[in-house]
Structure 1
Amino acid sequence: MQHANSVYHKSVVYGIVALMLVPIIATLAYSLSSRWGATILPDGFTLDWYRQLLSDVRFVEAFGRSLLVCVAALALSTVLILPAIFVVFYYFPQLDKLMNLLILLPFAVPPVVSSVGLLQLYADSSVPMVRTPWILIGTYFTIALPFMYRAIANSFTAINLRDLMDAAHLLGASTLQAFWHIVLPNLRKGLMAALFLSFSFLLGEFVFANILAGTRYETLQIYLYNMRQTSGHFTSALVMTYFLFIFICTWLASRIGAKS
């Protein structure tokens, strides 16, 4: 009976995985096909669509812009969030519940509403912000904040911060030295996992990028949206390239998280 239940559960899991893989495999096959009309199988296979994509300067520039904005936002998040979490956990642990509530606020407001509010706020500003990467960096910082805070806070809890700091102080280290040489190395794996997961999420963000930047600062998602009317084979190659990159980032995050 137990063996039968195990087989049934495995069959259900494998069936669900197979259903999830069908559209991915179909998109991959379409991106590799030279022509696919009314037949069940493609008429031929080719890598020309990937060659066109990777040789498109517009795609390379859009990909570079997305990387720039995401990396800058995550660097800003790391510089600001790490010291803030350290202060909360070491000096004011009673504020942790309040911080957990505050970091959920970015999810309380829909992205469209936030974008319209930012447009109204910075439209008449003397410093040009709209249609520039700077407004995207600030916006992506708020998006990454919940992911970064929760992951790093879990790492702080796991390392028993107060005991580490007390031991460092007994050995003559200052608070800054203890944080830099003892606490930070213990947070490295958790921090890297948080960065990879946040990066995977930010790279796929579309609403803020479309409303706040648009074609004036074309990111990868905007490029994908603008190229939707071109050849379906080319669009499929673009989707699969994006999917592969996100898959690698997610895999690295899971590997790092499993070792932390």
Structure 2
Amino acid sequence: MLRVERIYHRSVVTLLLLILLLPLAATLVYALSSQWGATILPQGFTLKWLLQLWQDPRFLAALGHSLVICFSALLLSVVLVLPLMFVIAYYFPALDGIMNVLILLPFAVPPVVSSVGLLQLYSAGPLAMTGTPWILIGCYFTITLPFIYRAITNNMQAIHLRDLMDAAHLLGAGTWQAALLVVLPNLRKGCLIALLLSFSFLIGEFVLANMLVGNRYETLQVYLFNMRNGSGHFTSAMVISYFMVVLLLTWVANTVNKGKEG
């Protein structure tokens, strides 16, 4: 009976993986095909479209812009939010309920609505940031708050933060010394999960990037939108390249995390 259930569960998981991977596999085949029209299978394979994409200075610039904005927003989130989360969890745990409501506010306002307000607010005056990467970094910082806060808060609850701090105090460590040397290393997994979730969401964000910056600081998604009327093979190569960049960064982060654990 257990063997039948195991086979059934594996079959369901395998079928689900196939369903999820089938569109991606079809996109990859189309990106590598020289021509694919009326026939079931491509008439030939080529690396022309991938080479053309990665030799395009505009694509490389857009990819660099996206990485700079995403990493800057994530760095700002960790530097500003992580100490605040420690203070709330250790000194003011009663505020956790209020924070759970506040961090959802970025998702309560649609990006189109918030973009219109930001355009009116930052298009002129002393803080004219429209069309610059700075306004996107600020917007992406607010978007990452729910991911950062929830993942790290769950990690803090799992490691029993107060017990760790009390043990460190008994051994003679100060509060912030214990936070840096004892608590922070135990939050590595939670931080990594939060950063990966945030990065995968930010690098695919389009509405804010297109409305607030557009072609003045073209990001990867804006570039993909601008090239939508080109060759379908070229567009498929962009989608596959986008997926591979995210997959590569995720693999690097997991490798670094495993190396530290070893």
The two structures have a TM-score, normalised by structure 1, of 0.92
CA distance in 2 between partners of 1:55 and 1:251 (Å): 24
Partner of residue 107, structure 2: 107
CA distance in 2 between partners of 1:79 and 1:10 (Å): 42
1:115 maps to a residue whose letter is: S
Asked if 2 retains the 8 angstrom alpha-carbon contact of 1:70 and 1:137, the reply is yes
**Identity rate of aligned residues, in percent?**
63
In 2 relative to 1, CA 165–9 (structure 1 residues): closer, same or farther, beyond 3 Å? closer
Partner of residue 43, structure 1: 43
1:216 maps to a residue whose letter is: R
1:138 aligns with 2:141: no
Structure 2 counterparts to residues 45-194 of structure 1, below 5 A: 45-194=45-194
Partner of residue 230, structure 2: 230
CA distance in 2 between partners of 1:170 and 1:27 (Å): 58
Per the TM alignment, residue 4 of structure 1 is displaced from its structure 2 partner at its CA by 5.2
CA distance in 2 between partners of 1:117 and 1:148 (Å): 25
In 2 relative to 1, CA 177–12 (structure 1 residues): closer, same or farther, beyond 3 Å? closer
Partner secondary structure for residue 35 of structure 1: coil
Q: Which digits, 9 at most, give the CA deviation of each residue in 1:90-113, with x for residues without a partner? A: 100111111111111111111111
CA distance in 2 between partners of 1:247 and 1:15 (Å): 22
Asked if 2 retains the 8 angstrom alpha-carbon contact of 1:65 and 1:218, the reply is yes
Partner secondary structure for residue 225 of structure 2: helix
Per the TM alignment, residue 180 of structure 1 is displaced from its structure 2 partner at its CA by 1.3
Per the TM alignment, residue 166 of structure 1 is displaced from its structure 2 partner at its CA by 1.8
Q: Which runs of 5+ in 2 are unaligned?
A: none
Partner of residue 210, structure 2: 210
Task: Identify which range, 8-17 or 106-115, moves more after superposition.
Answer: 8-17
CA distance in 1 between partners of 2:152 and 2:253 (Å): 14
Number of residues of Structure 1 aligned to a counterpart in Structure 2: 259
1:155 maps to a residue whose letter is: N
Partner secondary structure for residue 193 of structure 1: helix
1:14 aligns with 2:10: no
CA distance in 1 between partners of 2:205 and 2:152 (Å): 22
In 2 relative to 1, CA 14–173 (structure 1 residues): closer, same or farther, beyond 3 Å? closer
Task: Identify which range, 14-23 or 58-67, moves more after superposition.
Answer: 14-23
1:244 aligns with 2:239: no
Q: Which digits, 9 at most, give the CA deviation of each residue in 1:17-44, with x for residues without a partner? A: 3232221111111100111121111111
Per the TM alignment, residue 214 of structure 1 is displaced from its structure 2 partner at its CA by 0.4
Partner of residue 199, structure 2: 199
CA RMSD of aligned residues (A): 2.1
Task: Identify which range, 182-191 or 54-63, moves more after superposition.
Answer: 182-191
The two structures have a TM-score, normalised by structure 2, of 0.91
Q: Which digits, 9 at most, give the CA deviation of each residue in 1:137-161, with x for residues without a partner? A: 0000000000000011111111211
Partner secondary structure for residue 45 of structure 1: coil
1:146 maps to a residue whose letter is: P
CA distance in 1 between partners of 2:84 and 2:41 (Å): 56
Per the TM alignment, residue 200 of structure 1 is displaced from its structure 2 partner at its CA by 1.1
